[in-house]
Amino acid sequence: MRKLILVFFSICTIFTTACSRHKKPSDTKAYESVHQLYQFLCDTTSKGIMFGHQDSFSYGIGWKYKDDPGASDIEKVCGQYPAIFGWDLGHIETGSSVNIDSVDFNLMRKQILRVHKMGAINTISWHPTNPITGGSTWDTTHIVVKEILPGGSHEQKFNNWLRSLGHFFNSLKDEEGNYVPIIFRPYHEHTGNWFWWGNSHCSQEEFKKLWQHTASFLKDSVNVHNLLYCYSTDKVHSREEYLDKYPGDDIIDILGIDVYDFPHYGVNYPKVLPECLSVLQKVGKEKQMPIALTETGNLCVQDAKWWTNSLLKHAGGYGIKWFLVWINIEEAQYYGPYPGQMSAENFRDFEKHPETIFAKDLPNIFN
């Protein structure tokens, strides 16, 4: 009840926030549910941060896919579902029936609709295969972006891929036939070099055109109008670095950043995360857009009090709307707690904290 009152107060209080002006989605034909979601994201103050988890309904430690429908490691630990559910459409472009993590797309659709029905929020990323080589998203052996843009050798192939995305988005309707709003976050972490759209694999202009073509094709050629578009980088050190390949305010609705607690890669999380969120906060205020920690996590959560003493401690105070931790796919790769995991008790404290928001703490966004 305490958190419900806090969220209600946050929404109903008149205040000046980073998005006090930017109230409407970039898509001028966006459906009403998209407007409602965007209004909520713009009107939520920094007093509460929504917790998100990737593929939370799809699999966890010791269970997968249809074996335990509706299960979630998060719910098993604390009795609450995330406020934000992440999904990925990687491999839908190839005609595959399952995504990059073997989640059946039909099952994913049902789970997305379930999330919406319970009043929570869906965000979708996309790890497409390399359209030139047929290799993975991480295949950077060939220059790709310039060849999939209008006039490029693989333009038509890529347009068909976008059409596949659009058909999936357009299939997301509730029981009344209303489109489910989605936060779409493609081409993320482009400031790194591990994806084929990464920093050294395309020019500034090419990356901007990739975003612009994607958004315009989905809206104009496939009639997709249930998306909010989220731009997210990897770690950055300045406003200039963050905005170096920014495609434009007429396309982007939400600003995000991905920062993992990876000490094995030399990342000093207590130092790096606040620095990155400080940059994000400044850009968000400048552009009057909501901001989020769109991916984060500590591999196999090796600190028993990581949730309160690290994530919440270092991510609070910057006005982010949510933080999303990555998948729980196997015992060697998980980012959320599960029953018996060393951080499970601390996660329960994290869930009860007045600054965190889970599904049941959310107001009625879609009225």
Q: Does residue 366 fall inside a structural domain?
A: no
What is d(CA 305, CA 311) in angstroms, rounded to the nearest whole number? 9
pLDDT band of 15, cuts 50, 70, 90? very low
Domain limits for position 313: 2-11+19-361
Q: Does residue 301 fall inside a structural domain?
A: yes
Q: Does residue 357 fall inside a structural domain?
A: yes
Q: Does residue 367 fall inside a structural domain?
A: no
Q: Does residue 271 fall inside a structural domain?
A: yes
Per-position DSSP letters for 230-274, written without gaps between them = EEEES--SSHHHHHTT---TTT--EEEEE----GGGT--HHHHHH
What is d(CA 180, CA 116) in angstroms, rounded to the nearest whole number? 7
pLDDT, residue 204, reads: 98
Beta bridge partners of 230: 254
Q: Does residue 260 fall inside a structural domain?
A: yes
pLDDT digits (tens, 9 = 90+) for 159-178: 999 999 999 999 999 999 99
One-letter amino acid at 329 equals I
Q: What is the CATH classification number for the domain harbouring 63?
A: 3.20.20.80
Q: Does residue 103 fall inside a structural domain?
A: yes
Q: What angle do CA 140, 144, 148 make, to 5 degrees?
A: 155
Judge if pTM exceeds 0.85. Answer: yes
pLDDT, residue 67, reads: 72
pLDDT digits (tens, 9 = 90+) for 40-52: 999 855 479 999 9
Number of domains the chain contains: 1
pLDDT band of 27, cuts 50, 70, 90? very high
3-state secondary structure of 112: helix
Q: Does residue 188 fall inside a structural domain?
A: yes
User: What is the overall mean pLDDT for the chain?
Assistant: 93
